[in-house]
């Protein structure tokens, strides 16, 4: 998202217990409260702000918002930005933040494939280090006394979203750490051209703004935190990408990941043996 959303938050200490995590079609769902109204929510580290459906916004008694045009991977969509919203998720309380209100009916049925009234974005990752273990279907915020495990990679902000360094053979790149992406790797058209990658097919995609069709290419190698994946299919992003690459849960499921946006780092602990 390219709108600037300013967050004012005060987080309470994290609950040390792991919380249940529903994984459906490669996407992560948690329990959250929006202005005290409980709901299931998609957890999306690649979302610049929390998104709320108008029906839930009405139940949660949102105040007036400001209408804007939001540009997404599938085009533009009219939304409303509402300030002063309280979010509770993963043991964190964000007392007052701006959220985006948008009709998520099409997004839920077409892409998420699960009825979704809220998408919890980076606010909760800004509040505390979040540890996600897809293999065991649990997620929790780490306490201040807990040290993350695994290989530490620095986070770099690009256009309001967080990226980690990766290599594609001899090419270095930054990839969005995107737990909201359940479909796989996405590569910018510029990097795909630089690498000389040729399309092998098409696939449907596109989030906010509607459905689009993208070319599919094959990455001979993708190395993340010392682990190499070979012959990885990637869809080509024809829009003005904020990062050269985007890695989602099909790649991230091979690690226990701790994302600490405030601390500007993410840790990757491999799970089992990666089969290529």
Q: How many CB atoms within 10 Å of residue 88?
A: 19
Residue ranges of domains in the chain, CATH in brackets: 7-141 (2.40.70.10), 151-270 (2.40.70.10)
Q: What is the pLDDT of residues 132-165, one digit of tens each?
A: 999 888 899 999 899 999 999 999 999 889 999 9
Q: How many angstroms separate the Cα of 275 from the Cα of each of 75, 220, 227, 230, 246?
A: 36, 14, 11, 9, 21
* Of 6 and 16, more confident: 16
Using a pLDDT cut of 90, give the percent of the chain over it.
Answer: 70
Helix, strand or coil, per DSSP, at residue 4: coil
How many residues would you count in the chain? Answer: 276
Least confident piece of the model among 2-6, 13-17, 184-188: 2-6
Q: Is 265 exposed, middle or buried (0-12, 13-18, 19+ CB in 10 A)?
A: middle
Q: Order of strands, edge to edge, in the sheet holding 19-20?
A: 19-20, 138-141, 130-133, 255-260, 265-270, 151-154
Instruction: Give the tokens for residue 130.
Output: 């979040």
Q: Give the separation between CA 124 and CA 90, rounded to whole angstroms.
A: 8
The pLDDT value recorded for residue 10 is 35
Query: Does 5 score more than 90 pLDDT?
Result: no
- Cα–Cα distance, 242 to 257 (Å, whole number): 22
Greater confidence, 14 or 251? 251
Residues pairing with 217 in the sheet? 234
Give which of 124, 100, 121 is closest to 19, Cα–Cα.
Answer: 124
pLDDT averaged over every residue in the chain: 87
Amino acid 78: pLDDT: 83
Tokens standing for 219? 């990455």
DSSP for residue 42: E
Q: How far is 11 from 29, CA to CA, in rounded Å?
A: 21
Distance in angstroms (rounded) separating the CA atoms of residues 54 and 161:
24
């Amino acid at each position: 998202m390219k709108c600037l959303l300013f967050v004012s938050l005060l987080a309470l200490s994290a609950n040390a217990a792991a919380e249940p995590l529903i994984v459906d079609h490669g996407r992560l769902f948690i329990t959250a409260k929006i202005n005290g109204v409980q709901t299931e929510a998609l957890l999306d580290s690649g979302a610049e702000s929390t998104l709320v459906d108008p029906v839930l916004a009405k139940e949660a008694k949102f105040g007036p918002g400001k209408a804007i045009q939001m540009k997404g991977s599938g085009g533009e969509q009219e939304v409303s930005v509402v300030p002063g919203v309280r979010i509770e998720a993963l043991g964190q309380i964000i007392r007052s933040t701006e959220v985006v209100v948008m009709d998520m009916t099409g997004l839920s049925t077409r892409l998420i494939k699960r009825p979704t009234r809220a998408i919890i974005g980076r606010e909760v990752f800004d509040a505390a280090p979040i540890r996600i273990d897809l293999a065991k279907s649990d997620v929790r915020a780490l306490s201040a006394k807990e040290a993350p495990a695994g290989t530490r990679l620095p986070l770099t902000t690009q256009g309001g979203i967080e990226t980690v360094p990766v290599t594609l053979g001899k090419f270095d790149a930054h990839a969005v750490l995107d737990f909201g992406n359940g479909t796989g790797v996405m590569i910018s058209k510029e990097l795909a051209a630089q690498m000389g990658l040729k399309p092998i097919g098409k696939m449907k995609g596109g989030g906010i703004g509607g459905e689009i069709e993208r070319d599919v290419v094959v990455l001979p190698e993708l190395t993340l935190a010392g682990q190499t994946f070979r012959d990885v299919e990637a869809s080509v992003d024809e829009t003005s990408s904020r990062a050269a690459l985007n890695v989602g849960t099909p790649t991230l499921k091979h690690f226990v990941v701790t994302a600490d946006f405030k601390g500007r780092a993410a840790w990757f602990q491999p799970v089992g043996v990666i089969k290529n």
